[in-house]
Amino acid sequence: MKRILTLLLIAIPYLAMGMTDTDTIIWKQNLEIIIQNDSNGINMQLVDPDNSYIQVYEKQYGMNSKSTRWDISEHVNIPFSNFVVTKKKKKVKKNFETHWAGFGFGFVNACDDGLNIINSSNSNGVSMNWGKSYELSFNILDFDVPLIGNNFGMVMGFGLNWRNYVLNGNRMLTYEHNKVMIETLSDDSSVKKSRIKRFDLVVPIMLEWNFGKDFYLIAGPEVCFNTRTSIKNVYNYSDNLKDNYKRGIASNPVTVDLTARIGCEFIGLYAKYSPTKIFQYNQGPEMRSFSIGMYLPF
C-alpha cells in the first residue's frame, strides 16, 4: 500500500497539468504507471511487467465522477515446485490388524488328567467353586506378521495374567514337605476360604484371521511364565478363626494355554485350556487350568 501511494504522488503532477490524447508511461521500482488522456477523461493504471502485466490498480477521472478499482493477486512460490508431480490418490487397502491386546475377565476352573471338571468323583479331591474362581488378563501390547494378504497372520506380544482358584466344600489346601495336598476338615471345623493365586507373564504365538466386517478369530498357544504362586486358607477350628498363607510353592514355572477367541472390534469371547499341570510332577494334585470369559480389545 505504501508503495502504491508513493507512485500516486509521482503521477499527480502529470494529472494536474492536463494532457493531450497521448499515453504517458512512468517506471518506478519495477512497476509501470500508464496515464491515458482522452475524451472520456483521464485514466491511470498500475501494472506489474514482471507478472505478465497484471493490473494492480486503476483510477478513472471523468467529467463529473471518478472510480477506483483494485486488482489484488498473490503468488506463493514453493521451492522445487517444478519437480513435484501430482498423482491421483489411490485407495489404500486396510492393513492386517491384530486384536490380542486388551482387557479380559473370565471364570477359571481346574480339571484332572481325565478332563474331569467340577465336583467329579474322579478328580483326586479337586473341586473348584467356579462362581468364585476367576482370572484377569491385561495384554499390554501386540504386533503382527502378515502371512496371507491383509486378513491372515501371526500374532505375538506381551501380557499379564492373574488367576484365583477357590476350592469347594469343607476342604483346604496344605503345603508340607514341599508338596501341596488337599485336606478335608472334621465336623468341628469349617473352611471360610481356601484358594490358590497364580501370576504369570504371557507371550502369545497365535494365528489370527480377520473376516467379515471387523470380525476376527484368534487361536493358538499362549506361553505363561509363572512369577508367583501362593495358597491361603481361612477356617474355623474349635471356634477359633485361623489364617495361614504360603508362597513359593512347587508350581510349574512354565505352562501353556491353548486359547481360542472370537469377536469384533469392541468385544470378544474366549476359552482356554492348559495341557500342562499347575503343579510340578508329584508336587501337588493333578490340576490343569480351564477358563472361559469375555475380552475387550484396544
Whole-model pTM? 0.64
Phi, psi (rounded to 5 degrees) for 234: -125, 120
Position 50 scores a pLDDT of 66
**Rounded Cα gap, residues 84 and 38, in angstroms:** 49
| 88 phi/psi in degrees, rounded to 5 | -70, 135
The answer to whether the beta carbons of residues 126 and 112 sit under 8 Å apart is: yes
Nearest to 47 by CA among 62, 29, 63, 34: 34
- Please report, to the nearest 10 degrees, the dihedral formed by the alpha carbons of residues 161, 166, 172, 177 taken in order: -10
Enter the DSSP assignment of 276: E
Q: Please give the pLDDT value at position 20.
A: 46
In the block, residue with C-alpha cell 473348584? 128
- β-pairing verdict for 66-70 and 240-247: unpaired
pLDDT for residue 190: 83
Can you give the pLDDT at residue 94? Answer: 54
Residue 149 is predicted with a pLDDT of 81
Three-class SS of residue 259?
A: strand
* CA-to-CA dists, residue 189 to 170, 195, 269, angstroms: 8, 17, 40
The confidence score (pLDDT) of residue 268 equals: 95
Going through 62-133 in order, the beta strands assigned E by DSSP cover 66-70, 102-111
Nearest to 40 by CA among 18, 26, 60, 23: 60
Give the chain's end-to-end CA distance (angstroms, integer): 57
Give the model's pLDDT for residue 81. 43
Q: What is the mean pLDDT of each run of 10 residues along the chain (298 residues)?
A: 54 50 59 71 71 64 61 45 47 70 94 68 70 94 88 94 90 83 79 91 95 90 95 82 82 95 93 92 86 94
**In the prediction, which pLDDT does 154 show?**
94
Tabulate helix, strand, coil % of the chain (nearest 5): 5, 60, 35
- The three-state secondary structure class of 133 is coil
Q: What is the pLDDT of residue 289?
A: 92
Q: Which domains does the chain have, with CATH numbers?
A: 2-70 (no CATH), 102-297 (2.40.160)
Give me 63's grid cell.
467529467
Pick the closest to residue 75 from 90, 89, 56, 57 (CA basis): 56
